[in-house]
Amino acid sequence: MAEMSSELQSLYQELVIDHSKRPRNFRKMEDSTLHADGYNPLCGDRVSIFLKMDGDKVADASFQGAGCAISTSSASLLTEALKGKTRAEAEAIFDNVHKLVTEGAAVDPAKLGKLAVFSGVSKYPARVKCASLAWHTMKAALEGGQKVSTE
Ligand code: ZN
């Protein structure tokens, strides 16, 4: 646990801890139009992403699941980031976040807003899949909804 705590300190702990303890949009969406389930077997994280599309726009986004602080906070921040975005904008955010968590500072943090919190994740390879799980699951939902695994 001590190790986890120092990891989180490097990961802009306040925002991550806040979103893991009080996840936003944490609910099953009964009237979702797109939905996918994701699983990260390395850590045991599970996340279901629900999207309600209004034409080309994400009218609502929510998630459910159980996982570590990083996967939960990542999913929580994802649902906040997606609302009101078009499908193309959501995919662009996915690309930027994916680059950010795998390559670190390769992305301009100004483009990502709060999501830049995960820039430190690239230093912890075991955590990359925790941070990216919700995003891969969101992408699967946009593409028609399937079960995804990070393996
Ligand atoms: Zn995890």
| SS3 assignment, position 24 | coil
Predicted model pTM: 0.87
Q: How far does the chain reach from its first CA to its final CA, in angstroms?
A: 25
Q: Tens digit of pLDDT for each residue in 86-105?
A: 999 999 999 989 888 888 76
Task: Note the pLDDT of residue 13.
Answer: 75
Q: Tokens at residue 83, please?
A: 């609302």
**Ligand 1 centre from 45 Cα, in Å?**
5
**Ligand 1 centre from 56 Cα, in Å?**
31
For the chain, list the domains and their CATH numbers: 24-149 (3.90.1010.10)
Which amino acid type is present at position 65? G
Task: Note the pLDDT of residue 58.
Answer: 97
Q: Tokens at residue 9, please?
A: 């300190």
Q: Which residue matches tokens 């992403």?
A: 49
Angle at 122 between CA 74 and CA 50, to 5 degrees: 20
Distance CA 35, CA 52 (A): 9
Protein residues near ligand 1, an ion, with CB under 5 A? 43, 45, 68, 71, 130
Q: Tokens at residue 51, please?
A: 């999207």
Portion of the chain with pLDDT greater than 70, in percent: 85
Band of pLDDT at residue 2, cut at 50, 70 and 90: very low
User: If you average pLDDT over residues 41-66, what whole number do you get?
Assistant: 96
Distance CA 136, CA 138 (A): 5
**Ligand 1 centre from 133 Cα, in Å?**
9
**Ligand 1 centre from 44 Cα, in Å?**
6
pLDDT over threshold 80, residue 8: no
